Structures are given as structure tokens and as C-alpha cells.
């Protein structure tokens, strides 16, 4: 490993280094804010290092820093920092394994970053696996809650199954092309026209990655896992792991399998359409907020896939924009759930919130409007670019479907708004929101508003691989 190789991995090294330091000091840190501060500091350092890193490829052609990875590295670091802020009220926060909780956050983010900057199927798999393993432990972190144990077990079993599919796809690809590097796979597949086996390999790899981003029909684990996990963990899973999965999916689709572009496009169109329809419809009947947001996240992955389904650099850029704004609005919505404590987890808890906590209700309104895709929020700008890219790729039916399901999802999100603004309060809400949760909410709200008012702000950075 040369110095140039290490320079490519600085963000990952910062996060894992901080994780090691926290782990060594775990029994000596008496105060939670110290562990949280360390995590946020590492996230800021990693974001800074990623943003200023020089482009290049190294570590045997497996790791790269380019515009694409820089974008997602910063996004993952931001999600980590916000999720750490949101963990102030974590049920385990005041006793027990408070430092280990943040260590697992750091390592999950390290895995995401590794997956995002991979140019090789093996490092990609390694990164995704690190992410999945650590988040499994995080999902089951509140050991004394049976729901958390069940969620962790379900998540573990289905994630293992997905990993097996992904590995099978990778091994088939290797058998066909003799390569695991994305670019080498592409050039080897170009000469293998007419062979049906690359299609099988592609299908398996796509299925494995679709599990990671919870796209229908590989979504069944998400609602249970999110509901069983504590809210900050669910928020980090919904935001970070989807962003990392989408980044990995985008790179694999665009670099490794351009020879299968036709089939790839059709598979992604089906995944996107199903995710949008099923996610929006199933969200209608949810009364648990974490489940509702889980189904909403499934629908949003469908919208994000609209860009990738186009198969063009412009489409990938649209997906990047969508992923970016989605992370902030989802973390914001989960943030309000966390701020309300146990009461925020059920829909009934939002009755009359506007009368008791007008500020919190207004923030929730902003995030819900953004999730629906109503201007002037970032959600509208994001939805606009992906639907435009679907229209440009002649997926007219899909574009119409996306708009229709947006209307359906408006009912889902506005139902919460009706509860907040037009119902009488039933229970008193928690008196104060912790400083760090407010900070995270403010940051998420800022990005959500800014992205809506200045819609083109991300264009210079959202460059496809």
C-alpha cells in the first residue's frame, strides 16, 4: 500500500480510526455527548477530506476518488453526523453501551463509504457487507425489547440471503469475464454478445443490490426492521444505506454492464414502477410512524430509480440529486419523530401538535411537503429532475405512474398534517427537545428549503461516474 493509495481512503480511515479510539476508551467515557461529539467530529473530518480529495484511482484499481464518489462520500458523512445528533435521546443513551452505539454508527458509515468509492465488485461487496453487519447489530441494539430482537433477526436473515444472491452474481460474472473490476467486466462482456449468461449474472447482482435499497419486490424486510429498530437507527438506515446502495447500483449499472443496457433498463423500470406503486399504496394504511416512513422510503427509492432506469449520465445525475435531498428530508421527518419520543411513534401522537408545539409541527409540515413533492421544497425539485429524465428516456407510462402515485402519497403525508393541525390534542407532548436534535432538525430543514428555492444548486456536483 503506497501513500497515494492511503490518500484515497482518508475519509474511511478517519471514521474507522475514530471508531477504534472510541472503542478503546469505551469504559472510560462517562458522558454520552463525548461519544456523540467524536462521531460528529469524525463525520465532519471525513466530509472535509472527501470534498477536498484529489481525483485518482488506486489500491490495485479497486478504489477511486472521482466526482461521483466525492458526492456520495459527503452525503454519507452528512447522514452520519445528523443521525449521531438525533441519537441524543436514544433509549440506550443514558446507560449501558452508549459508546458502542456510536462506534457501530461510525463503522456502518465506513462500509457505506467503501461501497461508494469501489471500482471493483469485491470491495463493493466488502463495503456493503460491513454496512449490513453493523446495522444489523444497531437494529437489535435495544436488547430488552422483543420487537428489536425480531427485527434484527429478520434483517439479518434477509440481508444474508441478499448477500448470497449478490455473491452468486459476482461469481458468475467472474466466471464469464475473468474479472471483478467494473471496467474490465464491461470490456470482456462486449465480446460475449448473444450469450444469455451475462443476463443471469446481472439479474443476480441487481437482486442483491435491490435488497440493500429495499426496492419492491425485495422490500419486505424494511418496515419490520425500521419499526423494531430505535428511531435514530431507522433514520440512519433509511437515509444512509439507501444512498450508499443507490450509489453502488449506479456505478455497477453504468460502468460494468453497458452491454446489457436494454435488459438493465427494463429491470430497473419494473423495480422503479413496483416500488413507487407498492410503497405509496401500502403507506396508506399505516398507523405506526416508523412503518409509514419505511413504506415512504420504499416509494422514494422507486422515484430515485427513475433516473438510473434512463441509463444515461443525465439520468444518473438525477438519481444523485434525488438521493441527496431524500436523505435530508427523511432524516428531518425521523428527527421530528425522535423529538416527540415514544409519542411520536404512532400517528395518534400527532393529534393537535400544532397547538402545543407550533415550531415542531411547522418543521414536520415542511418535511412532509417535501416528501410529497410540493414546491418550494427540495422534494419537488428532486422529483422534477427524475421525472424529466424518465420522460427523456421515453418511459412515458412510468412518468405518468410516478405523478399519479405522488398524488396518492400526498394523502399519506397530509393525513399526518391533518392530525397535527385539525385535531384536538389528546396527550401532553414532551416539554423540551434536546439541543442536538434541534440542531439536526434545523440543518435538515435548511437543506430541504434551500434545495427547493435554488433547485439547480446541486448540478455542478452531481456528476455521473
User: Where do contacts with another protein occur on this chain (CB under 8 A)?
Assistant: 1, 20, 23-24, 26-27
- The SS3 call for residue 81 is helix
CB of 436 to another protein, least distance (A): 26
CB of 132 to another protein, least distance (A): 20
Q: DSSP characters for 9-70?
A: THHHHHHHHHHHHHHHTTTT---HHHHHHHHHHHHHHHHHHHHHPPPEEETTTTEEE-HHHH
CB of 27 to another protein, least distance (A): 5
Contact yes or no for 138/104 (Cβ under 8 A): yes
Give the number of C-alpha atoms closer than 13 A to the C-alpha of residue 118, restricted to the C-beta side: 28
CB of 11 to another protein, least distance (A): 18
1 or 431, CB closer to another protein?
Answer: 1
120 forms beta bridges with: 181
For residue 135, which of 156, 117, 158 has the smallest C-alpha distance?
156
42 or 381, CB closer to another protein?
Answer: 42
Return d(Cα 415, Cα 286) in angstroms, integer: 11
20 or 454, CB closer to another protein?
Answer: 20
Segment (H or E) for 187: helix 182-190
27 or 432, CB closer to another protein?
Answer: 27
2 or 191, CB closer to another protein?
Answer: 2
Q: DSSP characters for 297-330?
A: HHHHHHHHHHHHHH-SHHHHHHHHHHHHHHHHHH
CB of 48 to another protein, least distance (A): 23
CB of 102 to another protein, least distance (A): 14
Query: Using CA of residue 252, residue 256, residue 260, residue 262, what is the dihedral sign?
Result: positive
114 or 301, CB closer to another protein?
Answer: 114
Question: Which residues neighbour 94 within 8 Å (Cβ) at sequence distance 6 or greater?
Answer: 32
Q: Where are the alpha helices (DSSP H) in 231-377?
A: 231-236, 242-251, 261-283, 289-310, 313-339, 353-356, 358-372
CB of 30 to another protein, least distance (A): 14
29 or 200, CB closer to another protein?
Answer: 29
29 or 281, CB closer to another protein?
Answer: 29
CB of 126 to another protein, least distance (A): 16
What's the Cα-to-Cα distance from 313 to each of 137, 161, 251, 423, rounded to whole Å? Answer: 36, 31, 11, 47
For residue 32, which of 460, 435, 339, 420 has the smallest C-alpha distance?
435
3 or 432, CB closer to another protein?
Answer: 3
Contact yes or no for 421/368 (Cβ under 8 A): no
Query: Using CA of residue 73, residue 311, residue 221, residue 170, what is the dihedral sign?
Result: negative
25 or 459, CB closer to another protein?
Answer: 25
CB of 18 to another protein, least distance (A): 12
CB of 23 to another protein, least distance (A): 5
Amino acid at each position: 500500500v503506497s501513500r497515494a493509495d492511503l490518500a484515497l481512503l482518508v475519509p474511511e480511515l478517519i471514521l474507522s480510526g475514530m471508531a477504534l479510539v472510541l472503542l478503546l476508551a469505551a469504559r472510560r467515557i462517562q458522558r454520552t455527548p463525548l461519544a456523540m461529539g467524536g462521531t460528529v467530529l469524525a463525520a465532519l473530518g471525513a466530509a472535509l477530506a472527501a470534498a477536498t480529495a484529489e481525483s485518482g484511482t488506486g489500491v490495485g484499481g479497486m478504489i477511486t476518488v472521482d466526482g461521483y464518489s466525492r458526492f456520495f462520500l459527503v452525503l454519507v458523512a452528512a447522514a452520519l453526523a445528523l443521525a449521531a445528533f438525533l441519537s441524543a435521546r436514544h433509549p440506550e443513551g443514558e446507560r449501558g453501551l452508549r459508546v458502542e452505539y456510536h462506534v457501530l454508527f461510525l463503522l456502518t458509515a465506513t462500509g457505506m463509504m467503501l461501497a461508494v468509492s469501489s471500482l471493483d465488485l469485491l470491495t463493493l461487496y466488502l463495503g456493503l457487507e460491513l454496512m449490513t453487519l453493523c446495522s444489523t447489530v444497531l437494529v437489535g441494539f435495544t436488547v430488552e425489547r422483543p420487537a428489536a430482537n425480531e427485527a434484527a433477526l429478520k434483517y439479518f436473515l434477509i440481508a444474508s440471503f441478499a448477500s448470497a444472491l449478490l455473491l452468486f452474481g459476482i461469481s458468475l460474472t467472474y466466471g464469464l469475464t475473468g474479472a471483478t473490476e467494473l471496467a474490465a467486466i464491461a470490456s470482456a462482456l462486449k465480446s460475449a454478445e448473444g450469450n444469455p449468461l451475462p443476463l443471469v449474472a446481472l439479474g443476480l447482482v441487481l437482486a442483491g443490490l435491490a435488497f440493500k435499497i429495499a426496492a419492491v419486490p425485495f422490500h419486505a424486510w424494511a418496515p419490520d426492521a425500521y419499526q423494531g429498530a430505535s428511531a435514530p437507527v431507522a433514520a440512519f438506515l433509511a437515509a444512509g444505506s439507501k444512498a450508499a446502495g443507490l450509489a453502488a447500483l449506479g456505478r455497477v449499472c453504468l460502468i460494468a454492464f453497458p452491454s446489457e443496457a436494454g435488459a438493465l433498463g427494463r429491470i430497473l423500470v419494473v423495480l422503479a414502477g413496483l416500488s413507487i406503486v407498492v410503497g405509496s399504496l401500502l403507506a396508506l394504511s399505516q398507523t405506526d410512524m416508523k412503518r409509514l416512513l419505511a413504506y415512504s422510503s420504499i416509494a422514494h427509492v422507486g422515484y430515485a430509480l427513475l433516473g438510473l432506469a434512463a441509463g444515461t449520465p443525465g439520468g444518473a445525475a438525477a438519481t444523485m440529486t434525488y438521493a441527496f435531498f431524500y436523505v435530508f428530508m427523511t432524516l428531518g421527518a425521523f428527527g421530528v419523530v425522535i423529538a416527540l419520543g415514544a409519542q411520536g411513534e404512532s400517528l395518534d401522537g400527532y393529534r393537535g401538535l400544532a397547538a402545543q408545539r407550533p415550531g415542531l409541527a411547522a418543521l414536520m409540515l415542511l418535511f412532509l411537503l417535501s416528501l410529497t413533492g410540493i414546491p418550494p421544497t427540495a422534494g419537488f425539485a428532486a422529483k422534477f429532475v427524475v421525472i424529466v429524465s424518465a420522460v427523456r428516456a421515453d418511459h412515458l407510462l412510468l412518468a405518468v405512474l410516478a405523478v399519479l402515485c405522488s398524488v396518492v402519497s400526498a394523502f399519506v403525508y397530509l393525513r399526518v398534517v391533518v392530525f397535527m393541525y385539525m385535531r384536538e390534542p389528546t396527550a401532553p407532548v414532551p416539554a423540551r427537545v434536546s439541543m442536538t436534535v434541534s440542531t439536526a432538525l434545523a440543518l435538515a430543514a435548511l437543506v430541504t428549503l434551500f434545495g427547493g428555492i435554488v433547485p439547480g444548486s446541486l448540478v455542478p456536483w452531481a456528476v455521473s461516474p
